[in-house]
Each structure stands twice: as structure tokens, then as C-alpha cells.
Chain A
């Protein structure tokens, strides 16, 4: 499939049309969606109508934007007016949002064409898409395995050539881990860089929206379009989108990159090998690789699985059968709330709500949630100390390549360990990118992760580009 940059360039020059690109995307979706369960909703008519509108504007000589005619897939927790949005949950079945997420407005304004909504773990709680109320998504590279999660549908859309770009959300690794398992570039931007207005909330101090693409340049192109201050999100950083594409070829010469022991320990041998090879490639390109240890990162998993469920238990209190979504009738309001939530939420969401409610309850607050918030401070301080000595950090994205369905569903703690290398970045509010590098067991892709301080996206993309070029067939 053509890259997003190529499609946009062809549409603007007249070498192709948005309608032809969208038709090709629709054909790919029609051919593979039944098997892979990537899209929960395909917005066929609206996509074609939008594409024709772009073609008319091109023919009139108007400016059509950096993503002109590029099909894009949206994770099903991003609101688009009139398009069914479920967040992978039964409780929102049939809900039509009355407003657009800011990122949706921005990609449309840049000329992209929203093809539909992609499958996800329910309310983004999971690492495999197996908690979706609408069945799991299959990994396009090996349909007997998971695509990762929670943005598994958005990863699979790009990996199966249905769309060259997609948007996901990353609360503890939900973009980077599926990107790694599907052989894609996935980015968790700095907290606040991208507006969350219109993103269905999971854990608000951690959630960020970010891009999936087949290559670093396309991911940078998309992030430039969606980043930048938004008055509708009071947590959005008060600044414009950074220049990323222009700095893609900055390289890593003279940079110091830390290879972090805690970001590879416990990973499978094939994954560790890929990370070491990535370190070699960065060294060959002129970086200095420094082996280092950040012991505080070991506490990330525990802190995350108290903080995220605590925030989720509060955020998901809004699903009470009153204003939107499912209602199961009962004699009084409290019974109606309980019947609705019991019928509407799946097991993993209930587990996390329970965990969060417990961690916040009287008598346990200080021991669990309060303690986790302090660990978060220690993690931020530890990263800051590391970045006094090095520019970026390097490690694995996920402990293994894509795993088989059912491998971890019986044991939540095992599933949670899928995020052990990605969680620290969310706790710190920093930025990270996962780039495919090498192959592992079963010929499946391995993702390596580059981490940087807040607002280091340009450096991360440039380093990611170095890894991409190091693997290019000569």
C-alpha cells in the first residue's frame, strides 16, 4: 500500500483521486474485515462523499491539506458526530456522539477521510482486544494471535493495509504495544500535546491520543496535524504543534542514548536481541550508547494498576443509565444504576472499577492510591536524573512478540505484565515511540522503544528514522 505522504501528494497533484484511494481502502476492508474483525463500523457513504468533496476542491485549485485523500481509521473511543461510538463496550451500544473529538476535526480539516471505527479492549482496558464486547481482533500477520491492545483494531487496520494511518489512545502502552505486535510505528506523545476533547476517558492523568503508521514519516505527519493547543481541553499544552517532519533526518550523531536494564529485563531472548541490535544501529549512526539502570521503573506496574483503576472507577461512574447508553429498568434509580452497570460492563472493566474503588476507599487510600502517587513522583524524578546524562532512552516495547488468543485471559496479572515497559512513560507524562526492529519467534515483528522527556518528539522521530533506515534493503 502507498504511504500516507504519497497518497496525499498524488491527490494534490492530480496523479490520483481521493475517491480512488478511499475506494481502494473500502475494498481492502471488505476483503478482510470478516476474518480480522478490525472495524466495528465502516462509514462507507460518508467516506466516499468526503473524498469526492476533496477531489472537487483539488479540481478548483483549492488547498486541501497535508493528509488530502488519506484514509484513516479511528479507535472506537474517539467521537465523531452521528457515527456509532462504543469504546468496545455493550453499555454504549448504539450511542451516536453529538460532537466531534478535536483530533477528528483536525484530521478532517487536513483532508484525511475517516473510514470508520476500530475495535478495542472495552474502555481501553486490556492488552489484546480480547475484552471487547464485540469479539477480539485478529493479528493480520498471524490470525491465530492477538494484535495487542487496547488499540488493537487501529493497529490491525494499518498492518492489514486497510488504511495507511490510524489513531489510537495510550494510557499504559495501548498504542506502542499493539504497534510492536503488528510491526508498526506507534507513538505516545507528551501528556497534553494532543487534545483529548472527545476521547472517551479511561484514566485522565495518563490518557494520550497518538498515531499508528507503517513508517516514521507518516506517523510524524499525522502527529503534526493532531498536536497543538485546544481550548476545549484544559490539560492541553499552551503551544502550537512542533515541527516534526522537517526534522526527520536530524539523525542521532552526537546523541547519548541510555540502554535501560529495567526496560529489557524479563523480556524474551528474541526481543532482547532486537534491542541490542537497535543499540548497535544507533551507535553506527553516531550515537553514544550508555548502559544504565533506573531501579524506580520496577515500581511502575504496581503504581499504574492502582492509579489507572482509581481514575477509571471515577470516570466510569458516569455510565449510570441516565444520560446516554444502556438502561436496564428497575423500580428506583439506584437499582436501575446497578442493573445497568452490571449488564453493560464486561468482566475486565468490572475488575478495574472494583480495584479502583477499593484503592480509593476509606482505610486503604493511603496504603495504595496515596502511595502510588508518591511512587509516581519518584518515577518522574528518576527519569529527570537519567535525562541529565542522556538525551533518550532505549528498551523493549513489549516483553514478547504477539501471543496466542487466550494465553493470558485467565490471569489478569499476566496480561498486565504486557505493559511493564510502556507504563513508566505514561506515569511520567513523557513521550515514547515504538519502531519495528528485527523479527522474533515465528517470524513475527519485534518493537523497540525509544523514550524521551516531555516535548522530545522531534528527537524521537529522528532516532526512529535512523532505526528504520538501518533495516532498509540496500
Chain B
């Protein structure tokens, strides 16, 4: 069964999804994801150009609440669960270039 998916595709997708895969995982995922996509050929092959897509079973429309203040989560309680926090904010490693 020819897989529609190549090992390179899987490596690229892993990068996009921010996952590091071992060589072994790359081989395994290429085969397993290929099987799922092979199964999906039944719908990839259908002529559905006149069918409207459904992204939500009941046709979701925007729901907005009344513009009034109401309590939200306590900042300190939320930050207490963060891996790192500083001065009332989430703290992360540097995001750009070398540290000065």
C-alpha cells in the first residue's frame, strides 16, 4: 500500500507542531499516519464541490454577553499555577537573540 505520506512530510509537520521525534518515531508515525490518510482517501476522492462545509453542527453565530463588569479569575491564583512568574506576569526564557 503506497502511503500518501513521506518521512520528510512527517518531519516537517513535527517541526510545525513543536514536537521532537526520534528516528524510530519518525518511521512509526510515517507508517501509522499514512494508514489513516489511506483510509481518508474515501472522502478525498468524493466530488463535493457543490456541498457547503459544516464547521459547527448548528451553524454557530457569534454570541456576545452584556457589556457589564463581572468578576474574573484571581491573578495570583492563576499565576500560582504557572511554571514561572515574575511581578504579576508569566515569565519565559528569552524570545529574541542573545541575552545582553
A residues neighboring B (CB under 8 Å): 95-96, 98-99, 191-192, 205, 231, 234-235, 298-299, 301-303, 305-306, 313, 320-327, 329-339, 341-342, 345, 347, 350-351, 353-355, 357-358, 361, 367-368, 370-378, 380, 411-413, 416, 427-430, 454
Contacts and interface: CB of A to CB of B under 8 A. Distances in A.
Residue among A330, A337, A355, A372 with max Cβ neighbours from chain B (10 Å)? A355
Contact of B83 (A191, A322, A361): A322
A454 B29 contact: no
B65 A353 contact: no
Given A321-B83, A322-B90, A380-B54, A354 B48 contact: no
Given A98-B77, A302-B40, A336 B92 contact: yes
Interface of B: 5, 9-10, 13-14, 16-21, 25, 29, 32-33, 35-37, 39-40, 42-44, 46, 48, 51-58, 60, 63, 65, 73-74, 77-78, 81-84, 90, 92-95
B43 A299 contact: yes
B19 A345 contact: yes
B20 A329 contact: no
Contacts of A358: 5, 9, 13, 33, 37
Contacts of B40: 302, 305-306, 368, 372
Contacts of B95: 332-333
A373 B55 contact: yes
A380 B57 contact: yes
B19 A412 contact: no
22 contacts: A98-B73, A191-B57, A301-B39, A302-B43, A313-B17, A322-B92, A333-B92, A333-B95, A334-B18, A338-B18, A338-B19, A345-B19, A350-B19, A351-B33, A355-B36, A358-B37, A361-B16, A370-B53, A373-B54, A374-B53, A413-B32, A429-B58
A80 to B, nearest CB: 14
A299 B48 CA distance: 13
A413 B5 CA distance: 16
Contact of A378 (B14, B33, B48): B48
Contact of B82 (A302, A305, A323): A323
A336 B43 CA distance: 38
Contacts of B58: 191-192, 429, 454
A310 to B, nearest CB: 10
A305 B40 CA distance: 8
A6 B93 CA distance: 56
A429 B57 contact: yes
A377 B36 contact: no
A35 to B, nearest CB: 32
Contacts of A99: 73
Contacts of B48: 371, 374-375, 378
Contacts of A357: 13, 16-17
Contacts of B84: 327
A351 B29 contact: yes
Contacts of A375: 43, 46, 48
Q: When A and B form their complex, which 10 residue pairs have the shortest distance between CB atoms, in order from nearest?
A: A429-B57, A327-B83, A373-B53, A234-B63, A374-B48, A374-B51, A377-B54, A376-B54, A342-B20, A338-B18
B52 A377 contact: yes
A396 B5 CA distance: 33
A354 B33 CA distance: 8
Contacts of B56: 205, 235, 429
A374 B47 CA distance: 10
A193 B75 CA distance: 31
Contact of B36 (A329, A341, A380, A413): A413
A368 B5 CA distance: 13
Contacts of B55: 205, 373
A326 B29 CA distance: 24
Contact of A332 (B54, B63, B83, B93): B93
A413 to B, nearest CB: 5
B40 to A, nearest CB: 4
A370 B44 CA distance: 9
Residue among A99, A191, A357 with max Cβ neighbours from chain B (10 Å)? A357
B81 A353 contact: no
B77 to A, nearest CB: 5
A348 B42 CA distance: 23
A377 B81 CA distance: 41
Contact of B13 (A95, A337, A361, A370): A361
Given A98-B73, A354-B33, A358-B9, 18 more contacts: A235-B63, A322-B92, A327-B84, A336-B92, A338-B20, A341-B19, A345-B19, A351-B29, A353-B17, A354-B13, A361-B13, A371-B44, A374-B52, A374-B54, A376-B53, A413-B32, A413-B36, A413-B39
